[in-house]
Amino acid sequence: MTTPASASAVRVLLTGFEPFGGDGHNPSIVAARDAVALLAERVVAAEAVELPCAFADAGPALTAALERTRPEAVLAVGLAGGTAAVRVERVAVNIQDARIPDNAGAQPVDRPVRADGPAALFATLPAKRAVAAIRAVGVPAELSLSAGAFVCNHVMYVLLDAPGTAGSAGFVHVPWDEEHRPTPDTPALPAADLARAVAEAALAALAGGVDLHVPGGTLH
């Protein structure tokens, strides 16, 4: 399922995921779709594509969307339940180590995303600049050095490994939105904040350029 851009060529491709793990909602695809409208207000043509939460199917779906739209920038979005801030990912690792089965029932353990691929790939969007842009609109954001080892990391790796990916590309994890969080105690942000964060990160990806030279690492 896609949220199409206007008649203009797609400049930014956004992706999110279908619900997984028994949940009936996934804020990542909602944030991506809502960000399309926010980008349109900035005269930036974007499209949101929902990816299956399945190792075998997510990569081909992403590749098909890339080939069809040929965007200038790509931002994939996933859910990091239990987090309280938007996380801009810097690194995708060449490993699949699923704590739970994906939506197709697959649960790979210690298997590479690509057998002959590099151990890790770095996001090409200016990640620190994206964090700063998200914070500037009042949404909590942080830099992250791990996209996990589930389908989110898989998609990020496939995206960065895709031949001919134009412009800059990256991945952000969003928390639950307040309306759909599984329990009242689950950390969450307003859905509007998630959309704003995705739009700002997408604009940072589109702008590209040199990243901010500021500390962004953690001690553990």
**Residues carrying an active site annotation:** 89, 152, 173
Strand, helix or coil for residue 16: strand
The C-alpha angle 166, 168, 172, rounded to 5 degrees, equals 130
CB-based contacts of 73: which residues, under 8 Å, 6+ apart?
11, 12, 13, 125, 166, 167, 168, 169, 202, 205, 206, 208
Strand, helix or coil for residue 200: helix
Q: Using CA atoms, how far apart are residues 198 and 135, in angstroms rounded to an integer?
A: 12
Residue 122, beta-bridge partner list:
91
Task: Give backbone dihedrals phi and psi of 82, rounded to 5 degrees, phi first.
Answer: 100, -10
Q: H-type helices in the chain, by residue range?
A: 27-41, 55-69, 127-136, 151-161, 191-207
The C-alpha angle 168, 171, 174, rounded to 5 degrees, equals 145
70 with 38: CB under 8 angstroms? Answer: no
